[in-house]
Chains A and B, each alone.
Chain A
């Protein structure tokens, strides 16, 4: 029987979590459970099967050669695989599939397709969505993401490659200003890769992996792959926090219930580095029992252009609990679960402080710093029906971000994103200076139909509200007629509004 790890914790800051691991093991038997009682009497047989008998092969009856005795020496028992002791297919941000179609000893393949249609109440004339990394075009069928690749695993070597085509290869890299530092066009070079990393696996504890490259971030709970999410459009806590990191990660599975994953990375969802210091962080993922998951992501970095002394810190913590599961497979009401996420962070140095700032916009200095912080939460509840083929999710959240350093920059002529010198800047950029204020909330509800392990149909309604004009209004953010080829006359301004209500329909396929 696999053993629950009782190794001594090696890091003081993580001691409490590590110490809880053996306790967690006591709550639920580790895989496998103890041997069952002898089987009950067989069920009554039906009428005998048809008498037609297949001709026996020549060797159907064994010759009387003695069967070799079983080896007495027990082979060393391999530690159980992490998180395989339970069914975690219910989690928000996790794959519900039980096995991959293409899974060989050397390669496990993946194919992802994400197509959406969204219609906003504002119906902007430029068909552009503002303020999301999941949605990009309004009132159009949009290929948001298509990617293929997989995992390579030979002996102890491992690698992962996932390509990325579709609108997400534009809307995610555009939020990374680090690519403007220096040459070689990092955004173009890397935008068609969502994940690529390679590394080495050690058979230590329940597995230790060291990987280098671009890997997914789970700050904000939701997965970058919408197939794994309860909702298509996540709340701000997820949408405004990183989807990927570029650097090194060390995954330490101290038991089959706990992962500790330190990172050494270039920065906060950045291909390059803004300053001299790298970013540091860690994830702790703890699933002591099948119905509960705790995930904490913590980060420190220096991620502001021309402000090398400005440090960013962020903590992101989620709990998920499945509070109901029907005993009978295929029940009408089959499962219920919720997720709750809370984030807090701030920036300090070079004219800003995380709290208690006395400065005002355009007057932020080291003597009168401006407050720059991020506080948010989101909560979701999900019911599954008809043997998990249907699900209904409701949720929402809030964010408070003075300084707007995690607000997703509007696009078009409202874009505050710095442009290379040969590109004309936006005419009316959204103000993201220190000293500004931004508060927002959202709520949403949606249905998902999951006919099999590979397909999800999604229908949802979402409302977002901000304290300042931020979302695309009917006039759009591009030009008077909505086209980028039309000159914007003097005095024309992007139409930003405070509220955004929309429906979303999506088809998600994964093999």
Chain B
């Protein structure tokens, strides 16, 4: 007997039973297909990042200071939703003063290393330093723009994005 037969015969009880069974088996079967948790294992990721990004040379601590922060703006990504293109808050965008000898790639390595070490507790950050979160993970991207560095700091979800932005603004205000 097919599902269609059940519907055709209007056997409501049988139909409900089949639907419940389908739903239950579907749910249990699909559980195996559930993707990995969205949130990263921050300690493991930090350890991997430290291994890949950090080197033995000391870094001038002014790179991490608030003094180089020129401005802080919200970091938005855009999606089409309904009849509009809507912004989604993802974190903060910091514009940093150009630094002698520093390239975007090197800045990316430096900040990523810093972030990993802050998460792992190997160094102590200044208050509200936005390159890490005490209980989250900050994705860092750096590009050059008109001689400055633009650092995109992205949280994993909206609460983290708000945290990152608030910390970055407080960090900038502490100058």
- In Å, the complex CA distance between A84 and B74 comes to 10
| A208 → B minimal CB distance (Å) | 13
A180 at the interface (CB under 8 A from B): no
Asked if A329 meets B157 with Cβ closer than 8 Å, knowing A46-B120, A60-B57, the reply is: yes
Name which residue of chain B comes closest to A290, CB basis. Answer: B158
Asked if A42 meets B118 with Cβ closer than 8 Å, knowing A54-B55, A216-B82, the reply is: yes
Q: Residues 12-34 of chain B: 1 if any A CB is under 8 Å from the residue's CB, otherwise 0?
A: 00010001001100110011011
Q: Residues 94-135 of chain B: 1 if any A CB is under 8 Å from the residue's CB, otherwise 0?
A: 000111111100100110000000111110110111001110
CB contacts (< 8 Å) of A110 on chain B: these are 80
9-residue interface stretch from A93-101, A353-361, A373-381: A93-101
CB contacts (< 8 Å) of A420 on chain B: these are none
Q: Evaluate contact between B74 and A32: CB separation under 8 angstroms.
A: yes
A423 at the interface (CB under 8 A from B): no
Q: Residues 239-258 of chain A: 1 if any B CB is under 8 Å from the residue's CB, otherwise 0?
A: 00000000000010000000
Asked if A100 meets B79 with Cβ closer than 8 Å, knowing A39-B127, A60-B55, A62-B62, the reply is: yes
CB contacts (< 8 Å) of A228 on chain B: these are 81-82
A75 at the interface (CB under 8 A from B): yes
Q: Evaluate contact between A53 and B7: CB separation under 8 angstroms.
A: no
Asked if A61 meets B7 with Cβ closer than 8 Å, knowing A38-B127, A70-B67, A390-B30, the reply is: no
Chain A interface mostly: loop
- In Å, the complex CA distance between A208 and B90 comes to 23
- In Å, the complex CA distance between A503 and B8 comes to 11
Q: Residues 274-286 of chain A: 1 if any B CB is under 8 Å from the residue's CB, otherwise 0?
A: 0000000000000
CB contacts (< 8 Å) of B59 on chain A: these are 60-62
Q: Evaluate contact between A32 and B169: CB separation under 8 angstroms.
A: yes
Residues in A85-108 with C-beta less than 8 Å from chain B: 85-87, 93-95, 97-100, 103, 108
Q: Evaluate contact between B78 and A99: CB separation under 8 angstroms.
A: yes
Asked if A42 meets B106 with Cβ closer than 8 Å, knowing A31-B162, A56-B57, A94-B81, the reply is: no
Q: Which of B54, B77, B100 contacts A98 (CB under 8 A)? A: B77
Q: Evaluate contact between B83 and A32: CB separation under 8 angstroms.
A: no
Report the interface size for chain B: residues with CB under 8 A from the other chain: 93
Q: Evaluate contact between B38 and A329: CB separation under 8 angstroms.
A: yes
Residues in A451-474 with C-beta less than 8 Å from chain B: 451-452, 459, 461
Chain B interface mostly: mixed
Q: Evaluate contact between B57 and A70: CB separation under 8 angstroms.
A: no
Name which residue of chain A comes closest to B19, CB basis. Answer: A461
Q: Evaluate contact between B62 and A39: CB separation under 8 angstroms.
A: no
A501 at the interface (CB under 8 A from B): yes
Q: Residues 44-67 of chain A: 1 if any B CB is under 8 Å from the residue's CB, otherwise 0?
A: 111001101111110111110101
A contact residues, range: 35 or more
- In Å, the complex CA distance between A82 and B175 comes to 30
Q: Evaluate contact between A71 and B70: CB separation under 8 angstroms.
A: yes
Residues in B51-89 with C-beta less than 8 Å from chain A: 51-60, 62-63, 65-71, 73-74, 76-89
Name which residue of chain B comes closest to A217, CB basis. Answer: B83
| A55 → B minimal CB distance (Å) | 7
| B154 → A minimal CB distance (Å) | 10
Residues in B127-175 with C-beta less than 8 Å from chain A: 127-129, 132-134, 157-158, 162-163, 165-167, 169-170, 173, 175
CB contacts (< 8 Å) of A452 on chain B: these are 35
CB contacts (< 8 Å) of A216 on chain B: these are 82-83
Q: Which of B60, B69, B81, B169 contacts A62 (CB under 8 A)? A: B60
Contact surface of B with A, Cβ cutoff 8 Å:
3-4, 7-8, 10, 15, 19, 22-23, 26-27, 30-31, 33-35, 37-39, 43, 47-48, 50-60, 62-63, 65-71, 73-74, 76-90, 97-103, 106, 109-110, 118-122, 124-125, 127-129, 132-134, 157-158, 162-163, 165-167, 169-170, 173, 175
- Besides A32-B166, A87-B157, 8 new A-B residue pairs in contact (Cβ under 8 A), listed by A number: A32-B89, A33-B162, A61-B57, A62-B100, A67-B99, A95-B81, A95-B82, A386-B31
Contact surface of A with B, Cβ cutoff 8 Å:
1-2, 31-36, 38-46, 49-50, 52-57, 59-63, 65, 67-71, 75, 78, 80-87, 93-95, 97-100, 103, 108, 110, 119, 121, 123, 150-151, 153, 158, 160, 195, 215-218, 223, 228, 251, 329-330, 385-387, 389-390, 392, 447, 449, 451-452, 459, 461, 501-503
